[in-house]
Amino acid sequence: MSNIAGKAYAMNVLTPMRPWRTWVQRAIFAVARVSPPLLKGLLGLKLIHFARWVIIPRDGWPTFDGDRHSLHNDYMLFLSNFNGTWDQYIDAFADGIPGGLDLFWYASTKYPHSIPISKFKDYIGANQIDTNYYYNATPGAAQRDIKAALRAKRELTALAQAHAAGDPPAFARAYRAALGRLANSLASPGYAPIASIATQKADAARREFRARLEAGRAPLDA
């Protein structure tokens, strides 16, 4: 499926807006940019990599021949990358910032509001555009996996410096402290919940990595 690469899903939603309502949507976005509390629920959703709303005016679409398109509506383009399934994402979104969603799609034609969720899902599904090409640099890892790996890297770098100092008691204390801080960062990343070519490649690489470890060989060829 083109929308999926490993553990990540790419969503593109294009909704029409009546031109006379576009200025209202721009004003809402302007307020949201200077009022972080409006986005607090969104920022707390750890499964989201990226989310953006863009207003495209009816005369702002690119053309190959230089002619302007003759459109009656402006459009809202919503782009997002996230971990998990489509349903999980929509459910988390609607639960996290239901009021925010209603503001961000306020001017979109026939927007049904985020509650009840079934109508919101129907609206998103009807206006979603599939991703033709989607590249994921880390298909075997979710956002939390990557953050955990970065925490582990920082701790290991600090431990390497402590070890170089040549003080065994101090290193032992530093090691125990680091292990405590990394207690929630050392779990296996697990497998992607959705099948895709990128997922298959990541799973194959993981199996090879484990096989090399079990055989006592270096994980990567020199």
Dmax of the chain from CA atoms?
Answer: 75
User: How far from 59 is each of 18, 67, 74, 108, CA to CA, in Å?
Assistant: 13, 10, 8, 17
- What is this structure's pTM? 0.74
pLDDT at 112: 92
Task: Specify the fold of 4-127.
Answer: Alpha-Beta Plaits (3.30.70)
Q: Please, which residues have CB within 8 angstroms of residue 121's CB and are 6 or more apart in sequence?
A: 87, 90
pLDDT at 192: 65
Q: What is the mean pLDDT of each run of 10 residues along the chain (222 residues)?
A: 79 94 92 76 75 90 74 92 86 80 91 89 92 82 87 92 87 91 83 62 74 71 45
Structure tokens belonging to residue 185: 């960062």
The angle at the Cα of 88, spanning 204 to 74, to the nearest 5 degrees, equals 110
pLDDT at 193: 61
Domain parsing of the chain, residue ranges: 4-127, 143-214
> Are residues 17 and 72 in contact, defined by beta-carbon separation less than 8 angstroms?
no
Q: Long-range CB contacts (< 8 A, 24+ apart) of 84-89?
A: 84/7, 84/9, 84/47, 84/193, 85/9, 85/193, 85/194, 86/9, 86/11, 87/121, 88/47, 89/9, 89/11, 89/47, 89/48
pLDDT at 128: 94
Q: Please, which residues have CB within 8 angstroms of residue 124's CB and are 6 or more apart in sequence?
A: 13, 90
